[in-house]
Amino acid sequence: MSRSLARFSFAERAAHWMAAISFIYAALTGLSLWSTHLYWLAAVLGGGPTVRWGHPWGGIVFAVVLGFIFLNWAGQMRLDADDRKWLAESHKYAMNEEEGLPEPGRFNAGQKMLFWVQSACTLLLFASGFVLWWPAQMPRTLLSAAVLIHPATAIVAIAGILVHVYMGLLVVPGALHGMVRGEVSRGWAAAHHPKWLRETSKR
């Protein structure tokens, strides 16, 4: 029996990294437009005109790629009773103390929650960003709402991604390998996604 286990397909990994790159670009360009204290980011990213042009397109690319991810993963992201119990005790996972937590499948409840939060944020960012892209054509009430919704939602989305990066790099060593190489060791799967390991081994 092979010691490695296929975790993510090439298409899944490509979509993930395209989403990551476009999100980072949209976040950095958006931050540079949001505050004069962060305008130095615009200089790094090509200057004000480039940033103003590139920011909405970066957001569109991210939304399109996340749409692809949503269509492929939504069925696997439904929260069940074990997931709700996992969330209630998620502080143990954050401390890398997973003993006693319900066994997760391919995705744990934290990953599922991130998926739904990012999906909702993307819808709000896309809709409010569309309004801000053509302010002269929009009703004042809608424009005022978009001015508030867009940065507030961006903060939530950025915070979610920072937690995702922290967990993937520092709390669960080996998780990044799965998204880079597409495979993980059976020992890693047994430690972090035992239900998924059992389900996969039956196939």
Positions marked catalytic: 164
The span from the CA of 84 to the CA of 89, in Å, is: 9
Location of structure tokens 């993930």: 16
Residue type at position 98? E
Residue 46 sits at the vertex; the CA angle it makes with 144 and 40, to the nearest 5 degrees, is: 65
Using DSSP, state whether 94 is helix, strand or coil. Answer: helix
d(CA 126, CA 133): 10
Sorted by sequence, the CB contacts under 8 Å of residue 150 that are 6+ apart come out as: 124, 125, 128, 129, 132
Selection from 184, 8, 194, 198 nearest residue 104 by Cα: 194
DSSP three-state, residue 172: coil
